[in-house]
Amino acid sequence: MLKTFKNRCLASTFISTIALTSGIGAHAQAAQDQATADESFEEIIVTAGRRRQSLQDVPASVVAVSPEDFTLKGLQQIRDVLSYLPGVQYNEFGTPGRGTISARGVPQSSATPVFGVYLDDTPLTSNTNFSNGANTLLDGLLLDIERVEIIKGPQGTLFGATSVGGLLRYISRDPALEEIRASFSADTSVVKDGEWGHTISGRVSVPIIKNKLGITVAAYYQEQPGFVDYVDGATGALLQEDVNGGEAEGYSADLLFTPTEELEIRLKYLRQENSAQSQSNVSLVDENGIDGLFGDYGSIEAPGPISLDFEIYSGTINYDFGGFTFTSTTSHTEYENATITDLTAAFSGLTDLLSGSPPGTTTAVNFIASSGAKKIVQEVRLTSADNDEFEWIVGGYYTNEDTSNIQDVQTTPAFNLLFADFPSEYTEYAAFGNFTYYFSDKFDISGGVRISDSDLVLNVLVTGVLAGATDTTSAPIKDTVDTYLMAARYRVHDDLSLYARVASGYRPAQPNIPVIDPFTGDDIAPAVVESDKAWSYEVGAKGKSADGMIDFDIALWRITWANYQASVVLNGVSTGGNAEDGLTAYGFESVINIHPTEDLTITANLGYTSSTVNSDEPGIGAVEGEFLPNLPDWQGSVQWSYVFDVSGEWTGSFGGGVRYTAGAASALSGATSVLNVPIGGRTFADLNLTVSNGSVHVGLYATNLFDNRALLNRTDNFLGGVVTNSTGVFERPRTIGANVKVDF
């Protein structure tokens, strides 16, 4: 009954909104001249369909944002952008570049990513279960990026595996070919009861040969302020302040060569390095609340350095043959992340016992975890010229990915307590095609298909007294998967488009890490984690009122995800598996921009998500109808910007935003090692003021204005029915800052 009521409410909301906005457009059309509307409504161009299109013409839910709309307001990480978007969740791990993205009720249920990340045409996401790729992403907001495109729903046909819930693309700014352009910015801020932070960035783009050859060089450096203190777990004495602070730096070079009107060659290099003293986990009293064990932001976990490095090379050739364009993109992506955790207090005594040494012999026990991937990708495609009859894209894709995952417990004096290494090699060949047929200037249909053939081999090397000895190489896991896209778009009039879309996405099959039963010696884990596939069904509307006062993007969707890959725990060891009966998710998203005057813009976002397992899944600890963890049902935000005259050429902009995320569960109810604890809903407010003369911009801002101490996620470990420790990651306390940006 309740589910039926929710479905009816969603449908009613969607239909009512369509009727309302259509009526606004029709009424305003009779009263306003169309030229006025064109002047007040800025067309947004995106490349979500691998060709340039107006955002209104894309039959999918796509959001395009300018990084500067956030960074100049003190929101300098990609998680800050996602917190203002409905239907997308960022699960915060407390350090830049470490977290997971999910969308539309598709949870990050294993170590293989469900949400893809691209830099232009270069895929950055790992396709395997063995490199922590789901927890690692390029945070590119401070790079030389023109816009960020977020495409929601499966994108398997044009973008391949691991884009089950959606895709994020960083679109680089083209190097200058006519005139030099440059910019420099500096930002300083302070966290309440924490450290000062600083960011400097600059970029210069120079036409070396006018209209033929240009290059952009960009770099940034950031000191990230800490606010979590390290305290003694026995006495509560402060040992070190603000241990979760860190540094980030990045630099890039982008070369564009156009020797003829038909030929374009582009070469890119990018490197990003992130380091932190410690994670941002705060120690909690217990599982019954969010009170800190020692203060609001105290941690008894010993600090340990954390690092994450990205390096990307890419080259793209475009040649326009007139009726179609040939594109070849070659890329090499490498990332590596590492952490060091001090386990001396917990394991020094055990090490003495196992090694037969006198008590007190072991003076240090450090757990070193490092993982990463090296990925080579070659893609070629042919893209028809834009026309109003029949458009198409066909292409081929190849990737080879070598991953590493090393877990090493190092002791002083040396003793082999545990060493594990899980290298893997993934190879994939794929062919894809996409078409759009225009029945008229008002109605068109699109279709697409991708066939992917993958091969994955896993090596497992384990030694040490805690795990015994294992040295195996899996048989190649071969998998062939096809994905599809079908869409239809109807343009009611110039100011309103309706669309329907059916699409699928997948993750490839994986060999599994064995779990050996200590009594029988048998491997009790499934040998293969099978591929999973999601189907998405979506209808939506995009448009604007004819007077330009309102524009909107509304979508209603449903996803079924069969046999989805998930983590299972066997004999206390985490490994891979599948949820046999899958999950069902549904919801809606709406984005409405209101321009009541030329000087005031208001953007409102609202989204609802329901994501539940279809039946009891004892292997992953879920029961029928249970909501998936870390997936809030409601999300909403409001942003505003008011522009006013200051003096002479100077204008001011006063703005802010309020973002709300509903509560969610921290784990599945039947999880064997972590307790299912509710995470409460949270609301944060941000405020900003900027004055500018067009080339110089000076700003003040405050994020988390009311200093709301709210959990983003939590972990409550338990053993034998008893909670052993509780930790949580909190939103950064109120941060106040100022910045200046100069464009040359």
CATH assignment at residue 501: 2.40.170.20
So what's the pLDDT on residue 488?
Answer: 97
Q: What is the pLDDT of residue 575?
A: 85
Q: What Rg value do the Cα atoms of the chain yield, rounded? A: 26
Q: Residue 654 belongs to what domain range?
A: 2-743
pLDDT of residue 42: 57
Question: Residue 279 pLDDT > 60, yes or no?
Answer: yes
Question: Taking a C-beta distance cutoff of 8 angstroms, is the pair 730, 711 a contact?
Answer: yes
Domain count, the chain: 1
- Asked if pLDDT for residue 3 goes beyond 60, the answer is no
- Going by pLDDT thresholds of 50, 70 and 90, the confidence category of residue 44 is confident
What average pLDDT does this structure show over 425-437?
A: 97
Q: Residue 310 belongs to what H/E stretch?
A: strand 306-320
**From CA 512, how far away is CA 609, in angstroms rounded?**
31
The type of residue at 437 is Y
Q: What is the pLDDT of residue 360?
A: 92
pLDDT band at 570 (very low <50, low <70, confident <90, very high): confident
Residue range 462-483, pLDDT digits in tens? 999 887 888 889 899 999 999 9
Instruction: Assign 3-state DSSP to the chain and report helix, strand, coil percentages, each to 5.
Output: 10, 55, 35
The pTM (predicted TM-score) of the whole model is 0.91
Q: Are 147 and 159 in contact (CB under 8 A)?
A: no
Output the pLDDT for position 546. Answer: 82
Rounded to 10 degrees, the C-alpha dihedral 14/19/24/27 comes to 170
User: Which pLDDT value is given to residue 413?
Assistant: 94
pLDDT band with cut points at 50, 70 and 90 for residue 376: very high
3-state secondary structure 453-506: EEEEEEEEEEECCCCCCEEEECCCEEEEEEEEEEEEEEEEECCEEEEEEEEEEE
Q: Which pLDDT value is given to residue 467?
A: 79
Q: What is the mean pLDDT of the chain?
A: 90
What is the β-pairing status of strands 115-119 and 166-172?
Answer: parallel
For residue 612, pLDDT over 60 is answered with: yes
Alpha carbon distance 157, 531 (integer Å): 16
